[in-house]
Amino acid sequence: MNVAADFETYVLPTYARFPLIPVRGEGAYLWDDTGRKYLDFCTGIAVCSIGHCHPALTTAICQQAGTLMHVSNLFQIPQQAKLARTIVEEHVKIPGKVFFSNSGAEANDGMIKTARRFGHARPQADGTPRFEIITFSQSFHGRTLGSMAATAQAKIQEGFSPLLPGFRYAPFNDLEALVAAITPATAAIMLEPIQGEGGVNVATAEFLRGAAALAKQHDLLLMMDEVQAGFGRCGHAMAWRAIADEIEPDCISWAKGMGGGFPIGSFWVSDRAIAEQKPLSSLMGPGSHGSTYGGTPLACAASQAVLDVISSENLGAHAIAMEHYIRKIFSNWDQSIFQEVKGIGLLLGLAIRPDSVPQIDGKTPAQVIVAAFMEQGLLTVPAGPNVVRLLPPLTITAAEIDAAFIAMSQALAAMA
């Protein structure tokens, strides 16, 4: 079997893939087909939140797979009810209801549909439905037609016009510009409290509070995309709470880390009353949305196991402790490539100093450094052209972080 040749012949070339062929994982480590061991600070892009093949997750999947994998959402799936209760009661802690999807983009499409329903339920003065959603520069919301239109990045949208209408883009962390973007047709504001793909950009508390206040003032939905940042990655179960705890969003989406490697996504809609005491969540009634695979017994059992480990092992607090440890090492690190550590918890980015890394073969500075780290046995991910993302499992230890910094130092020395 020649994996690279089969990719070339049979797989659509949507990814510029590294030559690495992964075959096995355990905790923070990944092994390739030659038996080489890597320290994994990529974790399938913030997916393997409790490490590779955590016994609690593997056991939950095996047991459920041998009992009942799939039934239709026409029936009351007990694992789905339990997971929804866990998410609402233990993690969101605001009354509301959850829908289960299979990915982050699908979860965001569901939120976008909720905003459209809201715009119909609470139209403009002349009865015209509101429909516009404001999103932000450097955002990433996914690759479906809806979530791609929400993503304010030209490179993601290139060649796919006409885009789904109804999105207006504003610069991130700029309240004045947000005010100016609101029109009579605006129905919602949608944002990542900590932008992942766009370069690990943290929303300021002032910006989040201002957006929440504007949403109240103009009767808009405040929608958080926590697909990458949620469930402990940024310390708190909910990432926005790490920035401005008191805010109450109307919708939240998740995926990546909640499945620990099993595909699952979801979005939550608040029970807060809109017109005539009707809860917002009631706008998504029978027939309004659906997914054949969303929230199966198997997916929900897997996610339940992941969330239970995150809670019982207090991995949110551990993520913050490990962030402090990384920042301390960074501040004493003798190097000239990176200027700062961005992010919160274990959604971190090393910002590359301008002009400190040569352009090679049209690769961005971040791609050049990620490849150099991989040479030294450390997997990381670019976030935009000038940031290298560190996304270790939430179970990472101080000793493993020490090993990562040794690998990074070796890589920088080899590049120099």
Chain residues that interact with ligand PLP, rule: CB under 6 A: 103-105, 108, 140-142, 192, 196-197, 225, 227-228, 255-256, 265
User: Shortest gap between Cβ of 265 and ligand PLP (angstroms)?
Assistant: 6
How far apart, in whole angstroms, are the C-alpha atoms of residue 278 and residue 335? 58
**Cβ neighbour number for residue 206 with a 10 Å cutoff:** 12
Tokens 């020649």 sit on residue: 2
User: Shortest gap between Cβ of 398 and ligand PLP (angstroms)?
Assistant: 27
How far apart, in whole angstroms, are the C-alpha atoms of residue 49 and residue 51? 6
Cβ pair 200, 389 in contact under 8 A:
yes
Q: What is the distance in angstroms between the CA of the first residue and the CA of the last residue of the chain?
A: 37
Residues near 43 by Cβ (< 8 Å), separated by ≥ 6?
49, 51, 52, 391, 392, 393
Q: 191 or 274: whose CB is closer to ligand PLP?
A: 191
3-state secondary structure 180-235: HHCCCCEEEEEECCEECCCCCEECCHHHHHHHHHHHHHHCCEEEEECCCCCCCCEC
Q: 298 or 372: whose CB is closer to ligand PLP?
A: 298
Beta bridge partners of 188: 133, 221
Alpha-carbon 178 to chain mean position: 23
Residue number with the smallest Cβ distance to ligand PLP: 104
Q: 298 or 357: whose CB is closer to ligand PLP?
A: 298
Q: 132 or 192: whose CB is closer to ligand PLP?
A: 192
User: Shortest gap between Cβ of 223 and ligand PLP (angstroms)?
Assistant: 12
Q: 42 or 357: whose CB is closer to ligand PLP?
A: 42
Residue type, 371: A
User: Shortest gap between Cβ of 313 and ligand PLP (angstroms)?
Assistant: 24
User: Shortest gap between Cβ of 45 and ligand PLP (angstroms)?
Assistant: 6
How far apart, in whole angstroms, are the C-alpha atoms of residue 395 and residue 20? 24
229's tokens: 């940042």
User: Shortest gap between Cβ of 101 and ligand PLP (angstroms)?
Assistant: 9
Alpha-carbon 305 to chain mean position: 19
Beta bridge partners of 347: 344
3-class DSSP assignment, residue 382: strand
How far apart, in whole angstroms, are the C-alpha atoms of residue 392 and residue 151? 25
Q: 148 or 408: whose CB is closer to ligand PLP?
A: 148
User: Shortest gap between Cβ of 196 and ligand PLP (angstroms)?
Assistant: 4
Q: 223 or 255: whose CB is closer to ligand PLP?
A: 255
Q: 97 or 143: whose CB is closer to ligand PLP?
A: 143
User: Shortest gap between Cβ of 76 and ligand PLP (angstroms)?
Assistant: 26
Q: 43 or 376: whose CB is closer to ligand PLP?
A: 43
User: Shortest gap between Cβ of 399 and ligand PLP (angstroms)?
Assistant: 28
Residue 20, by phi and psi: left (phi above 0), alpha (psi -120 to 50) or beta? beta
